[in-house]
């Protein structure tokens, strides 16, 4: 299972030692492991994307960095090997001339957080997403060439890459050195960013899983279906039934 580091779930300032012990006991009781701590959204103090890594305000950027560091500490206490984070921030009303400066701010923030990641032995996984600062594989690889840290890697969201017109199967091979965790959801043929139950969209999951097996990936693949909050059990069962024969 994946834990969301935000309200009302595992927002670090509200998730004290007693709750950490409780979640560890529950995980043990049900023989579960945490695949990833999702440190993407920040509804506790902002919204889905804010505060981001590339805010104009230094104060807001500091809040994102602090949140990431807090999530790294929480991951260590729970026994999770990675956290995922947003790829910079939204590009709405952003002057393209400012991209080099935004990249500089993003890299500086990641490198500051990576010092804690190294100490805690927990990796920060950047997750490219449509309409954000990094949305495709080329942008991600360019960033990795400038971030000199083994503790900053990739949260490979299969649906996100499909949305921006890329072939997820091909990217599994191209990004194999970076992928430390996979998010999985289906996307309609239109490539509009709306997470669907696997099998309800246009992604060729058999091909994707064949590639994942061929690169020898042994980590987690987490199905991410947040649009199905009104019927989570039904959505989870349909996803599991569809993927079971493909993934094994």
**Where do the domains of the chain lie?**
2-247
Residue-wise pLDDT for 89-146, tens only, equals: 999 877 878 999 999 999 999 999 999 999 999 999 999 999 999 999 999 999 999 9
Q: Is the alpha carbon torsion for 177, 181, 184, 188 positive or negative? A: negative
Spatial distance between the Cα atoms of 19 and 10, rounded to a whole number of angstroms: 9
| Cβ–Cβ under 8 Å, residues 178 and 163 | no
> Three-class SS of residue 182?
strand
Cis ω for the linkage preceding 51 (within 30 of 0): yes
List, edge to edge, every strand of the sheet that includes 36-38. 2-4, 36-38, 82-85, 123-126, 152-157, 179-184, 221-223
Cα first-last separation, the chain? 18
Q: What is the mean pLDDT of residues 17-43?
A: 96
Residue-wise pLDDT for 50-83, tens only, equals: 999 999 999 999 999 999 999 999 999 999 999 9
The alpha carbon torsion through 233, 86, 186, 190 (nearest 10 deg) reads: 140
| pTM score of the predicted model | 0.96
Q: What is the pLDDT of residue 21?
A: 96
| Structure token pair of residue 172 | 């599994």
Query: Beta partners for 184?
Result: 223
Please give the distance of CA 178 from its chain centroid, rounded to a whole number.
13
State how far the alpha carbon of 212 is from the alpha carbons of 157, 169, 174, 248, in Å.
Answer: 13, 8, 11, 11
| Cβ–Cβ under 8 Å, residues 216 and 190 | no
Cis ω for the linkage preceding 137 (within 30 of 0): no
The residue to which tokens 């994307």 are assigned:
49
| Cβ–Cβ under 8 Å, residues 66 and 112 | no
Whether the pLDDT of residue 248 is over 70: the answer is no
Residue-wise pLDDT for 190-235, tens only, equals: 999 999 999 999 999 999 999 999 999 999 999 999 999 999 999 9
Phi, psi (rounded to 5 degrees) for 87: -90, 65
The residue to which tokens 């997750």 are assigned:
127
Q: Which CATH architecture has domain 2-247?
A: Alpha-Beta Barrel (3.20)
The residue to which tokens 């032995």 are assigned:
121
């Amino acid at each position: 299972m994946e834990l969301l580091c935000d309200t009302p779930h595992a927002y670090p300032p509200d998730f004290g030692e007693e709750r950490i012990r409780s979640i560890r006991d529950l995980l043990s009781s049900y023989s579960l492991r945490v695949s990833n701590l999702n440190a993407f959204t920040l509804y506790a103090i902002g919204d889905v994307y804010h505060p981001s890594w590339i805010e104009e305000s230094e104060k807001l950027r500091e809040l994102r960095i602090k949140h990431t560091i807090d999530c790294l500490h929480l991951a260590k206490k729970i026994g999770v090997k990675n956290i995922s984070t947003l790829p910079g921030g939204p590009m709405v009303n952003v002057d393209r001339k400012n991209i080099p400066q935004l990249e500089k701010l993003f890299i500086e923030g990641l490198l500051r957080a990576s010092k804690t990641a190294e100490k805690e032995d927990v990796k920060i996984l950047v997750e490219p997403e449509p309409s954000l600062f990094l949305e495709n594989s080329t942008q991600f690889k360019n960033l990795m060439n400038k971030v000199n840290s083994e503790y900053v890697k990739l949260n490979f969201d299969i649906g996100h890459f499909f949305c921006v017109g890329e072939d997820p199967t091909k990217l599994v091979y191209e990004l194999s050195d970076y992928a430390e965790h996979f998010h999985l959801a289906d996307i309609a043929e239109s490539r509009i960013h709306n997470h669907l139950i696997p099998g309800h969209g246009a992604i060729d999951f058999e091909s994707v899983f064949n590639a994942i097996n061929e690169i020898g990936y042994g980590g987690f693949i987490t199905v991410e279906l947040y649009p199905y909050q009104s019927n989570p059990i039904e959505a989870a069962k349909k996803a599991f039934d569809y993927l079971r024969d493909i993934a094994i």
